[in-house]
Structure 1
């Protein structure tokens, strides 16, 4: 899961540094961890940053992996993001 998180954050065209209090990063992390958001909704929200079908497929698979995690695991991921990026 940590590798998927790193992949997601490095694959996006970042406009600011993680931990800087950037609203863009906060929104992406929240949407990624939100189990109620479907992979289709997730990629629709990111369509401005997705250029190919392969990228869209990768983001949908990543979101599906997050959605298949337990609530406890998602809570731990949220806690990890707060610890590693105290400005989030």
Structure 2
């Protein structure tokens, strides 16, 4: 659960580390163990909260950046990079970590 929490909230943690604690808890699934452990630390002044799923998504990360369907994905030999090709005639290279 902690790994999913970090992977799901990675952008918020990297961009706004000072606000990450309260905002990431609020935008985590209702049945998250992390959310349950720290629920008492959510800000009381936020009265309307978003409707969240009960469980984590089956996807730990989504590759975004293509404007059409991705038709091919391949890892490098040492699995440090990932290449995705799309019908939009682009190839994106990703850091697998």
State if a TM-score over 0.5 links the two structures.
no
Q: If you compute each CA radius of gyration, which structure gives the higher value, 1 or 2? A: 2
TM-score when normalising by structure 2: 0.27
Q: Normalized per residue, which structure has more strand?
A: 2
Q: Normalized per residue, which structure has more helix?
A: 1
TM-score when normalising by structure 1: 0.29
